[in-house]
Chain A
Amino acid sequence: MGCGMGKSELQLKKGDRVTISVPAATAIRAALLIQRWYRQYVARLEMRRRCTWNIFQSIEYAGEQDQIKLYNFFGFLMDHFTPASSERNLISHIFRKNEICRDTEWERHFCYKSIEVSASCTGPHLTFPMTFSGVSKLVEAFKHKQQLHARYVLQLLGETWRLLRILPNISHVSACRAKPITICGDLHGHLEDLLLIFYKNGLPSSEKPYVFNGDFVDRGKNSLEILLILFGFLLVYPNDVHLNRGNHEDHIVNLRYGFTKEVLGKYRVHGKTILKLLQKIFSWLPLATVIDDKVLIVHGGISDATDLGVIARVDRHKVRETPKVNRIWLFGEVAHPGSQSISASGDTKGKDVDEWKQIVDVLWSDPMPQNGCIPNEVRGGGCYWGPDVTEEVLGRHDLQLLIRSHECKQDGYEFCHNRRVLTIFSASNYYEVGSNRGAYIRMGPDLVPHFIQYQASKTCRELTLRQSVGWTERSALRALREQLFAHKSDLIGAFREFDPNNKGLISLTHWAGATERVLNLGLPWRVLRSQLVSSTPHGMVDYQQWIRELSITEPKLEVNNSILETMYKNHSNLETIFRIIDTDNSGLISFEEFRQTWKLLSSHLKTEISDRAIADLARSIDFNKDGSIDINEFMEAFRAHFFYFDLKNSFIQSLGISVTLLHEGI
């Protein structure tokens, strides 16, 4: 068995092949050969994929230092400034010598720092602040059924909680041509469906905004993994990933439907702490997303009393939302009117009841075909609402479409109420294998929903391994060639040191060494050599020729302005900061505020940016005469410059789960 099989052992006469039954020993030998050969083939592909990944990762890491500084700056802002504050003067607020307010309970209970991660831990190791490569690593790890260490879980959840606290109850998103929005419904712990969505649609990013419409947990067995992935992406792209709370994001419901059990089973020591932290996080999840002021996305639905103004104003984390009736169903408790505490302070004033009802309605309601609005007895909370209520509520808020989830649909989606209500459900095979398809929505500025349906199954793969590796490899190599080209003078200088007699040739070893010294990317150049250098006669590289070849393939490289580059890398965070400055959500900030913010940013990033440069920057944006800058225009103005970086980032995404851009016709 195994190696060293000679030809003679398998040579068969023609006649042998015709017989119907194959001698067992021969079949085994044949199988072994094929298995050995195939495993080698797959391994070679994996090596290529790994190198491809390393290329992007190393290029990305090289630029991440500033990102981390900015994140710390951002965190500092968060600690000192919240949108609810009526302060307009951000700068004085920051420089005021205030005590740092921390939630001491949080520090005591959820402190992850004392939890040690042993060297033998086989799961992924995360570093904070969260980065795109960190989340991708997490996704890959969960795909391979690894478990995240409790320390990292608590750390990630802690960061999530900090972020959620400053998000509004209702997220407002605008759909623009360049970035259609993807909307997903219930996932219910079905990790394979989330992975399938990412595979088909791409990972979330600033170019690929997502809305996840609640019910991430319960029933399926990977609820926690889904949460960690979604929170991870939320941390990296807080402006482009939107999570709506679902009725299952509730610790009481979790007790019954499996999530609590899942967490305690996976984390025997820290499970209870994790659950307590999750309880806080769930209460802080936003309640709704609105696209272009026209499309409302909530998990359950509406009632005749639904008022988005009220919903926008509530202290959402203080309102206990699990319906009273539901408690009877779950625990056999008898609900006495007024016996349930409805707010943290325990009082049952009318306003509190109203706020509570608004939230329950939005999380628990279902549409019905008949007109009217009646309590939802089956679920124990929210209502059944009819087409007349849809018209009235949408009309009152000047909306055109309601997208909700909450109910499983055979085709993954379903319209009702004259196509004014759309249900989207993303957990395929929800009841049993083959019961239903899942679906997600893509929506552009025309606000017309486009549906993509799927059904998770093991053999559901549309591209061969080889094709997907090949495509992403080509993209990675292109990006790498661009980097090499950008460093060409340094490279030639380094090569010349190995060519004292000016022959124009250096050995492969010297080529690899010099290239690594110049680019400092830590890449296995010898492994990549065959893809980068077209020919190496006698193991030597004609380096001048090689550099020339690089320039032929990359004619359009630009020299990047360092301010623009810094701004691009941080644009998602910058946008958030601008929005914080813009406390009245008018979309305008004064030129002076812009200048002061930028100066703060640059001092934090320890880069020098003169007043003059900032003024030039502001002037290059066509801001109106009263000295205000429209945030949207500002961000759009830099989009063209960032196309190059966007392209690279989407390639980075595509490597995370072998997404095929071929599939999308790019």
Chain B
Amino acid sequence: MMKNKQRSEPVVPDVHKTIKAAFEAFDYESNNRVDVREIGTIIYSLGCFPTQADLHDKNSRDSPVQVEDQTGCINLEKFLPAMTKVLMEHKFPSVPEDLLLQAFEVLDKENKGYLEPEQLAKYMTQEGELFTQEEMDEMLTALADHENNRVYYKDLLNQWTIDPDM
């Protein structure tokens, strides 16, 4: 979030407000609880890039993803300090653009400048933290050029800048 710019370290009260704001967007019943399935969206929207493993890590004490037994929800009371720590310590750092480009270039082994949907799908659904079929379909719909059905990854990178801090 703030680490991408030349700035002084974030102030804790401001960080608290930012976390609360993102949390509130999913706190439908205004009881400081969100459904555990939405917590990933909240953490991502705070500028972090956790892995799926991070998001399902309920056991480590500092994890922001600690579920209340009775409700199956995440309580703001636990989430706030844990998430503050995450932000202050940059625990889930972002994926810089140039690294992302290299990742695409690695998969584009013939150096064509684009990926065929089948190629991308093969990697996304078979390697790493696998995509579900639905995620894959959505990604292709979002990223593939509609005319010739190719993923021109270089063009795409320009469009996706990280949001300015909240």
Within A424-466, which residues are at the interface with B (CB < 8 Å)?
458-459, 461, 464-466
B41 contacts A43, CB within 8 Å?
Answer: yes
Q: By DSSP majority rule, is chain A's interface helix, strand, loop, or mixed?
A: helix
| Beyond A34-B100, A44-B45, A524-B24, 5 additional pairs, beta carbon < 8 A | A3-B54, A27-B123, A30-B104, A31-B123, A512-B21
B109 contacts A47, CB within 8 Å?
Answer: no
Given known A-B contacts A43-B44, A44-B45, A119-B71, A465 and B26 have beta carbons under 8 A apart: no
B17 contacts A509, CB within 8 Å?
Answer: yes
Q: By DSSP majority rule, is chain B's interface helix, strand, loop, or mixed?
A: helix
A3 contacts B18, CB within 8 Å?
Answer: no
Within A154-185, which residues are at the interface with B (CB < 8 Å)?
none
Asked if A416 is at the interface of the complex by the 8 Å CB criterion, the answer is: no
* Residue on A nearest B92 in the bound complex, by CB: A3
CB distance from A448 to the nearest CB of B (A): 32
For B51, the chain A residues whose CB sits under 8 A away are 1-3, 32, 36
Asked if B58 is at the interface of the complex by the 8 Å CB criterion, the answer is: no
B102 contacts A3, CB within 8 Å?
Answer: no
Given known A-B contacts A3-B93, A530-B164, A458 and B107 have beta carbons under 8 A apart: no
Asked if B40 is at the interface of the complex by the 8 Å CB criterion, the answer is: yes
Asked if A622 is at the interface of the complex by the 8 Å CB criterion, the answer is: no
Residue interface mask A7-27, B partner, CB < 8 A = 1: 100111000011111100011
Asked if B105 is at the interface of the complex by the 8 Å CB criterion, the answer is: yes
Asked if A33 is at the interface of the complex by the 8 Å CB criterion, the answer is: yes
Interface size on A, residues (CB 8 A): 57
B50 contacts A3, CB within 8 Å?
Answer: yes
Asked if B4 is at the interface of the complex by the 8 Å CB criterion, the answer is: no
* Residue on A nearest B70 in the bound complex, by CB: A119
Per the bound structure, the CA–CA distance linking A12 and B109 in Å amounts to 12
Asked if B154 is at the interface of the complex by the 8 Å CB criterion, the answer is: no
Asked if B114 is at the interface of the complex by the 8 Å CB criterion, the answer is: no
Asked if B138 is at the interface of the complex by the 8 Å CB criterion, the answer is: yes
Given known A-B contacts A31-B107, A42-B138, A524 and B25 have beta carbons under 8 A apart: yes
Per the bound structure, the CA–CA distance linking A26 and B99 in Å amounts to 13
B106 contacts A38, CB within 8 Å?
Answer: no
The one of B91, B134, B160 in contact with A3, judged by C-beta atoms closer than 8 angstroms, is: B91
* Residue on A nearest B46 in the bound complex, by CB: A47
Give the interface of B toward A (CB within 8 A): 14, 17-18, 21-22, 24-26, 30, 40-45, 48-54, 70-72, 91-96, 98-100, 102-111, 123-124, 127-129, 131, 133-135, 137-142, 160, 163-164, 166
**Among A35, A50, A509: residue with most chain B CB under 10 A:** A35
CB distance from B16 to the nearest CB of A (A): 11
A32 contacts B160, CB within 8 Å?
Answer: no
The one of B18, B70, B106, B110 in contact with A27, judged by C-beta atoms closer than 8 angstroms, is: B106
B25 contacts A33, CB within 8 Å?
Answer: no
Give the interface of A toward B (CB within 8 A): 1-5, 7, 10-12, 17-22, 26-44, 46-47, 50-51, 54, 119-120, 122, 458-459, 461, 464-466, 509, 512, 522, 524-527, 529-530
Per the bound structure, the CA–CA distance linking A54 and B30 in Å amounts to 13
Per the bound structure, the CA–CA distance linking A19 and B111 in Å amounts to 10
**Among A20, A34, A465: residue with most chain B CB under 10 A:** A34
* Residue on A nearest B23 in the bound complex, by CB: A524
Closest 7 CB pairs of A and B: A43-B44, A31-B128, A47-B45, A32-B128, A30-B103, A31-B127, A30-B106
The one of B25, B127, B129 in contact with A54, judged by C-beta atoms closer than 8 angstroms, is: B25
CB distance from A160 to the nearest CB of B (A): 25
Can you report 22 residue pairs joining A to B where beta carbons are below 8 Å apart? Answer: A1-B53, A3-B50, A3-B91, A5-B99, A17-B105, A29-B128, A30-B104, A31-B123, A33-B95, A34-B104, A34-B124, A35-B129, A37-B100, A40-B95, A42-B138, A43-B43, A47-B41, A47-B42, A464-B141, A524-B21, A524-B22, A524-B25
Per the bound structure, the CA–CA distance linking A17 and B103 in Å amounts to 11
CB distance from B1 to the nearest CB of A (A): 12
CB distance from B90 to the nearest CB of A (A): 9
For A26, the chain B residues whose CB sits under 8 A away are 106
A2 contacts B109, CB within 8 Å?
Answer: no
Per the bound structure, the CA–CA distance linking A658 and B27 in Å amounts to 21
For B100, the chain A residues whose CB sits under 8 A away are 33-34, 37
B129 contacts A527, CB within 8 Å?
Answer: no
Given known A-B contacts A28-B127, A465-B142, A527 and B106 have beta carbons under 8 A apart: no
